[in-house]
């Protein structure tokens, strides 16, 4: 039996496996610039975050209907459940779809169709986190929050993703203030490619409760001490960090040092269709490459529930 765990850093669009991409392309009459699923998979050689994002946004053209989004979530939940995921807090990128003429209603209703049956079909509880694209103008994020208002009963929180460098958290102060006023929880990617100062800004300016990635905190000892003291959860994604070249090889990943420094670490899959594994694969990989033992793997799994947006009763049941 795989270790029960929660997944807190997962972009649903990043679960689009090449085979499903081709199936949806066929269904929707979309031409993909790859001969077949194998050829597509062979294109997954990234030199940095941007080179990944270019392919990630490009492949989304196959997602057009509510059915497509429901099928995408079903495929993810089936794989995640098989690897011990009992709870998933799922990111989605509305602007990546509305920019291509797919309405936010199509996206949310499609996702929700699968999520509404996730407990019963897969034994996985779920939450949705709507991410703003930080390389788009702040006004576009505000418009996205406005467009999401009819669907807020389905959305637990907001996040911030896409190209980080040059797009500091403070750019999104207004939309995070508005989200907080609507009762939404707040997280943000910070310190993946951006500097440690972005982590501090995400905490102090955006009021986030968790930091997605946060890897580069290790460059600032005072920040590490603060994150440890305040028990700020970090949703690390070691396989993503290798594929996007934040670290050269998994053996160099600072996860073990971060745990030893008292940081509240979780491990997650980020974009598993692109980065070579789902969250159970990630647990296995850090065990092999970093020598994390059973007690440390259990700590990571325990942290994933503690850092989740489940309330105490739900959390106990999920574990």
The residues assigned a catalytic role are 192
Contact track, ligand HPA, 6-45, x by CB under 6 A = -----x--x-------------------------------
For the CB of residue 300, give the shortest distance to Zn ion in the complex, in Å.
17
Residue (15 or 296) nearer to ligand HPA, CB: 15
**Residue of the chain from 64, 189, 216, 243 that contacts ligand HPA (CB under 6 A):** 189
Q: Does 268 contact ligand HPA by CB under 6 A?
A: no
Per rule CB under 6 A, count of chain residues that contact ligand HPA: 11
Q: Does 270 contact ligand HPA by CB under 6 A?
A: yes
Q: Does 270 contact Zn ion by CB under 5 A?
A: yes
**Cα–Cα distances in angstroms (integers) from residue 309 to residues 29, 122, 210, 300, in the given order:** 39, 19, 10, 16
Question: Residues 61 to 120: which contact ligand HPA by CB under 6 A?
Answer: none
Residue (244 or 318) nearer to ligand HPA, CB: 244
Q: Does 258 contact ligand HPA by CB under 6 A?
A: no
For the CB of residue 192, give the shortest distance to Zn ion in the complex, in Å.
7
Q: Does 162 contact ligand HPA by CB under 6 A?
A: yes
For the CB of residue 192, give the shortest distance to ligand HPA in the complex, in Å.
5
For the CB of residue 13, give the shortest distance to ligand HPA in the complex, in Å.
7
Residue (24 or 237) nearer to ligand HPA, CB: 237
**Residue whose beta carbon is closest to Zn ion:** 270
The DSSP string of the chain is -PPPEEEEEEEGGGG--HHHHHHHHHHHTPPPSSSSHHHHHHT---SSHHHHHHHHHHHGGG--SHHHHHHHHHHHHHHHHHTTEEEEEEEE-HHHHHTTT--HHHHHHHHHHHHTTHHHHHS-EEEEEEEEETTS-HHHHHHHHHHTGGGGGG--EEEEES--TT--GGGGHHHHHHHHHTT-EEEEEESSSS-HHHHHHHHHTS--SEEEE-GGGGG-HHHHHHHHHTT-EEEE-HHHHHHTTSSSSGGG-THHHHHHTT-EEEE--BSHHHHT--HHHHHHHHHHHH---HHHHHHHHHHHHHTSS--HHHHHHH-
Interacting residues toward Zn ion by CB under 5 A: 270
| Binding-site residue set | 9, 11, 189, 270-271
Interacting residues toward ligand HPA by CB under 6 A: 11, 14, 49, 56, 161-162, 189, 192, 240, 270-271
């Amino acid at each position: 039996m795989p270790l029960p765990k929660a997944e807190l850093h997962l972009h649903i669009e990043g679960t689009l496996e090449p085979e499903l991409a081709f199936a949806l392309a066929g269904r929707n009459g979309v031409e993909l610039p790859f001969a077949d699923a194998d050829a597509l998979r062979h294109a997954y050689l990234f030199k940095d975050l941007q080179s990944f994002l270019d392919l990630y946004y490009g492949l989304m053209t196959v997602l057009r209907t509510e059915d497509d989004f429901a099928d995408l979530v079903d495929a993810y939940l089936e794989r995640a459940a098989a690897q011990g995921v009992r709870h998933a807090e799922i990111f989605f990128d509305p602007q990546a779809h509305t920019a291509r003429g797919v309405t936010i209603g199509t996206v949310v209703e499609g996702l929700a169709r699968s999520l509404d049956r996730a407990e019963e079909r897969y034994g996985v509880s779920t939450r949705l986190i709507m991410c703003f694209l930080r390389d788009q103008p702040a006004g576009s994020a505000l418009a996205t929050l406005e467009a999401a208002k009819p669907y807020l009963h389905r959305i637990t929180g907001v996040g911030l993703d896409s190209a980080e460098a040059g797009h500091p958290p403070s750019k999104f102060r207004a939309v995070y203030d508005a989200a907080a006023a609507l009762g939404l929880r707040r997280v943000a990617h910070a310190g993946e490619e951006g500097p440690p100062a972005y982590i501090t800004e995400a905490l102090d300016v955006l009021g986030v409760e968790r930091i997605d990635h946060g890897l580069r905190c290790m460059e600032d000892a005072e920040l590490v001490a603060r994150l440890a003291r305040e028990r700020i959860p970090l949703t690390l994604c070691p396989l993503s960090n290798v594929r996007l070249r934040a670290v050269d090889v998994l053996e160099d990943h600072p996860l073990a040092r971060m745990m030893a420094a008292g940081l509240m670490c979780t491990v997650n899959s980020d974009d598993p269709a692109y980065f070579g594994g789902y969250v159970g694969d990630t647990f296995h990989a850090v065990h092999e490459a970093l020598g994390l033992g059973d007690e440390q793997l259990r700590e990571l799994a325990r942290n994933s529930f503690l850092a989740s947006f489940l309330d105490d009763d739900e959390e106990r049941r999920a574990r």
